Structure 1
Amino acid sequence: MKLMIKIFIVFASVLAIAFYFLRDQDNATPASKAMKSETGKFETLAPLPSTIKESSGIETMPEKEHYITHNDANNQPYLYEINENGKLVKTYKFKLPNVDWEDLTRDDNGNLYIGDIGNNNSKRTELAIYKVPFSEMANPQAIRFTYEDYEGKPSKKDKNSFDSEAFFWYADNLYLISKDRNGSHEAKVYQLPDKPGNYTAKKIGSIKMTDRVTSACISPDARMVVLLSEGKIHLYRNVNNPESFFEGEPEEIPLSGAGQTEAVTFKDNNTLILTSEGGNLFRYTL
């Protein structure tokens, strides 16, 4: 009898342990599926070619499944055309300075804009954006500018206030977003004409944010604006007027494992293409 009782106790214990673990697995399944669904929107497409060591801007090529990107400051003034497999298709060489190329954008008329707008120490008295037709990459024209609130020699408080790594085009104007590097937790927004010449960029607004903006883009239908920071997307949906996109509240989307994300563009109204300084090409499906 005692033996039967002992066998029963052991058998019951085994059943209890099995039930405990099976119960945990059942409970974990929905959460695992939800996590997979949530993170499945973000994927690594390919490593970038070895010549692209510090991708800092990216834009879609017209009528192709290709993208164009470039390296950061102190590198050759070259643009690199790549496909979604990360293969280098073509290199475009320019006789321009690459003081600090930071971002790319395009307009609706077949033009690409190269933003030589980096200004880490706020010592550059004249910045430049180069406008060049996709059909004739050999003839860029310069849009040179200063900021309207730059007074020649910034104060200690403002000495890191005039750096930008992000801009986008909309309706004959360029919109630049500053990179807050002075601890003010503010990104300033400036407007600039898209025609070659010399200008003063007009400050039209600001955004309260603690993240440093590294790139920007606008959707083809102009209904969404994206700001990129390190490892995070700041998505403005249902934009009525892109000129005042910053008046809305962004949806913040973390990009786990992406590293130092530096460039973003829209492939279409529902798909973002991104790069990182770590040397990868990513896709995010909205």
Structure 2
Amino acid sequence: MKLMMKITLLFATTIGLFTLLLHDKLKLAVPSTPDNVEVLAKLPKEVDESSGIVAIATGVYLTHNDSRNKPYLYKQTAAGKTLQTIRLNLSNVDWEDITKDDEGNLYIADTGNNKNNRQDLAIYKVSLANPEQVKAIRFSYEDQKEFPPKEEERNFDSEALFWDNDKLYLVSKDRGRGETAKLYQLPDEPGSYEAQLIGSTKLETKVTAADISPDGKTVVLLGEEELHLFRNYNSVEEFYEGDYEKRDIEGTGKTEAVAFEEEDVLVITSEGGSIYRHNL
């Protein structure tokens, strides 16, 4: 009887230790969102590849999917409810970001260029009041001479767009060396242009989105599960010369979109993930 009790006790102890170890491993395997990030809602299934977002009111956003998806804008609430689906008479080659100007015009960046060989890059200007009227801002990069360039020189993809003072700003995603974010400038009016290279900064991340605060004093660049903030710059054209801060937001997944909801409040989305809010 004593032997049987000892065997039973040993078996129970072994099972307990195994369960504890398995629990710890599962906790490590499932990332949790950091304290500085609020999970607002799970994105609905129709927006499982959210690639751009813009706040049009507190708690109300427009977002879209990226390449090979329908050319739709989805009006979302902070609770994850789809209020409206806006169907645009456009192609979605590779939509990567969206921004707006002071008059409420939207700018959709069809600028995804994974292979660095596109010669049909465009930013579409759309008014929510007349979404059927679309104006195209077509462009090439002034410093791109080959389509595609050598692999290490492939820095002509952009997933990041913001507007300021009648200008559009594109930030490159360095697929060649993964170390330099280039800044390009375009007019915000329809036409065909060469995007002007106006600066660059060393940033060891692949930039997936960008935005500028309503007061124009803070620029944010998004990488995967990280934020890059720039403040106290002399001009937007040289924001990368300002004070720099990096913030980790581990556990948020494949973060692809960011926008200012208020002066010091960001909203973020991830592909196949959720809508998040972050206070600066």
TM-score, normalisation: structure 2:
0.85
| Matched residue, 2:240 | 246
RMSD: 1.5
Matched, 1:270 2:264: yes
| Counterpart position of 1:54 | 49
The CA deviation at 1:279 is 2.1
Distance 2:72 2:186 in 1: 24
**CA–CA separation in structure 2 for the residues paired with 1:84 and 1:184:** 33
Counterpart CA distance in 2 for 1:158 and 1:170 is 31
Secondary structure, in 3 states, of the residue corresponding to 2:93? coil
Residue 152 of structure 1, CA deviation: 3.9
Q: Deviations over 1:35-59 (max 9, x none)?
A: xxx9432111000111001000000
State the shift of 1:259 in Å: 1.0
Q: State the secondary structure of the residue aligned to 1:210.
A: coil
The CA distance in 2 between the partners of 1:148 and 1:81, in whole Å, is 35
TM-fit CA distance, 1:180: 0.6
Question: Which residues in structure 2 correspond to 1:232-243 (within 5 Å)?
Answer: 232-243=226-237
- Mapped partners of 1:41, 1:102: distance in 2: 26
How far does residue 249 in structure 1 lie from its aligned partner after superposition? Answer: 4.0
2:25 corresponds in structure 1 to none
Mark the CA change 1:196 to 1:220 in structure 2 (over 3 Å): closer, same or farther: same
Distance 1:181 1:152 in 2: 15
The answer to whether the aligner puts 1:105 opposite 2:102 as a matched pair is no
Q: Using a 3 Å threshold, how does the CA distance of structure 1 residues 201 and 158 change in structure 2: closer, same or farther?
A: farther
- 1:132 aligned partner: 126
Shift of 1:209: 1.2
Q: Which runs of 5+ in 2 are unaligned?
A: 1-32
Aligned to 1:183: 177
Q: Who wins on radius of gyration, i.e. which is larger? A: 1
What TM-score results when the alignment is normalised by the length of structure 1? Answer: 0.84
Aligned residues: 248
Aligned partner of 2:156 in structure 1 is 162
Query: For the residues of structure 1 that align with 2:50 and 2:197, how far apart are their CA atoms?
Result: 28
Structure 1 partner of 2:60: 66
Structure 2 CA distance for aligned equivalents of residues 107 and 90 of structure 1: 21
Distance 2:152 2:130 in 1: 39
In structure 2, what residue type is equivalent to 1:84? A
- Which SS does the other structure have where 1:257 is aligned? coil
Distance in 1 separating the partners of 2:224 and 2:178:
18
State the alpha-carbon separation in 2 of the partners of residues 141 and 155 from structure 1.
30
Match of 1:144 in 2: 138
Q: Give 1:65 deviation, angstroms.
A: 3.2
Question: Aligned equivalents of 2:160 and 2:249: distance in 1?
Answer: 18
Question: Quick one: distance in 1 between partners of 2:59 and 2:178?
Answer: 40
Deviations 1:140-191 (A, max 9, x none): 1100000000114343145522100001000111010000110151111100
Give deviations 1:179-205, integer Å, cap 9, x for gaps.
011015111110000000000000000
What's the counterpart of residue 192 of structure 2? Answer: 198
1:89 aligned onto 2:108: no
Matches within 5 A, 1:202-217: 202-217=196-211
- Of the three residues 147, 168, 171, the one matched with 1:174 is 168
Question: Which amino acid letter does the alignment assign opposite residue 39 of structure 2?
Answer: T
1:134 positional shift: 2.3
Take 2:88 and 2:113, find their aligned partners in 1: how far apart are those partners? Answer: 21
Identity percentage over the alignment? Answer: 50
Match of 2:279 in 1: 285
* 2:46 match: secondary structure: coil
- Structure 1's unaligned 5+ residue stretches are 1-37
Can you list the C-alpha shifts for 1:46-80, whole angstroms capped at 9, x where unaligned?
0011100100000011x453100000100000000
Question: What SS is found at the alignment partner of 1:51?
Answer: helix
Superposition deviation, residue 243 in structure 1: 1.6
Kindly provide the amino acid, as one letter, of the partner of residue 208 in structure 1.
Answer: K
Structure 1 residue 122, shift from structure 2 partner: 1.0
CA distance in 1, matches of 2:58, 2:37: 22
Distance in 2 separating the partners of 1:230 and 1:184: 13
Q: 1:198 to 1:109 in 2, by over 3 A?
A: same
Q: Does structure 1 residue 41 correspond to structure 2 residue 41?
A: no
Q: Which amino acid aligns with 2:48?
A: K
Once the 2 structures are TM-superposed, how far is the Cα of residue 247 of structure 1 from its aligned partner? 1.5
Letter matched to residue 85 of structure 1: A
The whole-number CA distance in structure 1 between the counterparts of 2:115 and 2:167 is 26
1:207 offset after TM fit, Å?
1.0
